[in-house]
Amino acid sequence: MGARPRAGTPERTGKMTMKKLCGFAVGISLLAFTVPASAQTANDCYQATLKTDDQAIIRICTQALDRGGLSNEDRSITTSNRGLGYLRIKEYDKAIIDFSEALLINPKNPYSFNFRGECWREKGNFERALADFESALNVNPDFTGAFYNRGLTYERQGKIEDARSEYNKGLQTKGDTALDKWARARIQERLTALGGNPQRQQQTTPRNDNPGPRRDSDNNDRTPQRQQQQNNPGNGTEGSYIRRR
């Protein structure tokens, strides 16, 4: 019968090391299973807005928010992007809640103002819609999409000359984001449709599709704000549109 290895010998030390390594490997494997496979990031949420699956936007952005660990900027963007998902499926009340919450986190997010204004317009509240588009322009005077949306709102009200004025202002902006370029193309369509005869509006329907927001990296190049500041980002919202925690 062989002698039992004494403590401290290379053979015994080697066995102990192997046991520790095996235990470490098991611990790592268990740790891996504690990380949800569905964990999403703010960038995953943004990427979802570039696709056509609106329910996926809501799901992925919700997972990113639930995961936590986001900076205030990313939390505002992600909440706003989820609101866009609700806007696209016409769940306007849920969208308004998300856009309002995004603005409470970051009151200088022109996208949230703009898209919340779209919700108000679709709900028939033109006054609040125009107020939100104005707020978007207070943050970024070159936000072409806000001029386009103001024009659409005036068209809905039958104020064709006011609509033309907003569209022409939109063509003069210096914004060069994807959303700015998209909005200018839509503005040209509306001006062509309106032509020189305001009555033609009765025979045309404005496009209301939406390419979705750029991730707010565009905000790094923001132009200076107008002098009027938006002191209350929740202005224009009702109690029912504030998420209760």
> Is residue 175 within 8 Å of 144, Cβ to Cβ?
yes
Res 203: pLDDT: 40
Nearby residues of 94 by Cβ (< 8 Å), 6 or more positions away: 83, 86
* Residue whose pair of structure tokens reads 């660990």 in the numeric block: 69
Q: What is the mean pLDDT of the chain?
A: 77
Distance separating the N- and C-terminal Cα atoms of the chain = 71
Residue 112, token pair as written in the block: 């949230």
Lowest mean pLDDT among 89-98, 111-120, 202-211, 225-234: 225-234
Angle in degrees, 0-180, between the axes of helices 160-171 and 178-194, rounded to the nearest 10? 140
Query: What is the CATH code of the structural domain delimited by 39-209?
Result: 1.25.40.10
Lowest mean pLDDT among 12-26, 87-101, 170-184: 12-26
What are the E-state strand segments in 122-235? none
Most confident of 12-21, 32-41, 141-150: 141-150
Q: Where are the domains of the chain?
A: 39-209
Torsion-angle region of residue 215: left (phi > 0), alpha (psi -120 to 50) or beta? beta
CA distance 29 to 142: 52
Whether the per-residue pLDDT at 244 is higher than 50: the answer is no
Whether the per-residue pLDDT at 214 is higher than 70: the answer is no
Q: Exposed, middle or buried by CB within 10 Å (0-12, 13-18, 19+), for 221?
A: exposed
| Residue 64 CB neighbours (<10 A) | 27
Q: What percent of the chain is helix, strand and coil (3-state, nearest 5)?
A: 65, 0, 35
Whether the per-residue pLDDT at 173 is higher than 70: the answer is yes
CA distance 156 to 137: 20
Task: Identify the residue with better confidence: 179 or 205.
Answer: 179
Res 2: pLDDT: 54
CA distance 216 to 227: 22
* Cα dihedral across residues 214, 215, 216, 219: positive or negative: negative
Res 163: pLDDT: 97
Res 208: pLDDT: 55
